[in-house]
Amino acid sequence: MGFSIRHMAITVVALGITAFTFGILAEQNKPDSGKSLNSNGVITCKYPSDPSPIYGFLSIAFLTASSVIGSYSIFHPYKGRSVPLKDLFCSTTMLVFFQIAVWVSFLAEGMLVWTTVAELVHLTNNVHRDANTKCPTAKTGLFGGAAFMALNASLFWLVCLMLADNARDDYFNEDEENHEGHYGQVLTADYDVKEQAKV
């Protein structure tokens, strides 16, 4: 059974919403800071239970899946019929939205990776010799901002998919009209030849 455009659209949006959800969970569960313990001039940061890196990596995975499937869904030959690239991207709107979807996806991925890795570094490198260490965590708001960027990326892929569907319809309608015109001309010419033969 082949994939339909509707199935692809639902999948892209569902994965984007899941990435957004995990990003928000990472933001909500991230502690503001850890507790510093001083022992012989060495500061050890003790953090409460922090699942935000796990949520961050899950958000990255689902955003990647949403972006890959979103990109694939545009070029997929539905019902075994593909559209040439020049006809698929003949619209300036399609070209612009495709570029926006790509860049927003990269930006969201970058923000998620940077914030998740930063949080993980804070949790694992928790021994410091600086007495002024405040036991920080990743900057507040980065997970949330990246989550919204992930949701935006999936919505841009959805718009691209709808524009690609319109381009497919236009391409195949024009193709059918051209074939119908060609066959009609052949039949008319054939009929004229027969009429002249009778005379």
- Reported confidence tier of residue 135, pLDDT bands at 50, 70, 90: confident
Q: Angle at which helices 5-29 and 142-198 pack, to 10 degrees?
A: 170
Task: Indicate the pTM of the whole model.
Answer: 0.79
User: Domain locations in the chain?
Assistant: 5-197
Residue 36: phi, psi to the nearest 5? -90, 135
Q: ∠ at Cα 161 (155, 164), nearest 5°? A: 145
Predicted confidence (pLDDT) at residue 50 exceeds the cutoff of 50: yes
Highest mean pLDDT: which range of 101-115, 136-150, 153-167: 101-115
Between residues 175 and 8, the one the model is more confident about: 8
E strand or H helix that includes residue 127 = strand 127-128
Beta-carbon-side half-sphere exposure of residue 132 (alpha carbons within 13 Å): 0
Predicted confidence (pLDDT) at residue 71 exceeds the cutoff of 70: yes
Predicted confidence (pLDDT) at residue 196 exceeds the cutoff of 60: no
Cα torsion for 83, 95, 146, 144, to the nearest 10°? -100
Q: Which residue has the tokens 């960027």?
A: 149
Question: pLDDT tens across 89-108, in order?
Answer: 888 888 899 999 999 999 99
DSSP 3: P
- Lowest-confidence range among 79-83, 100-104, 140-144? 79-83
Predicted confidence (pLDDT) at residue 178 exceeds the cutoff of 80: no
Give first-to-last CA distance, the chain, whole Å.
56
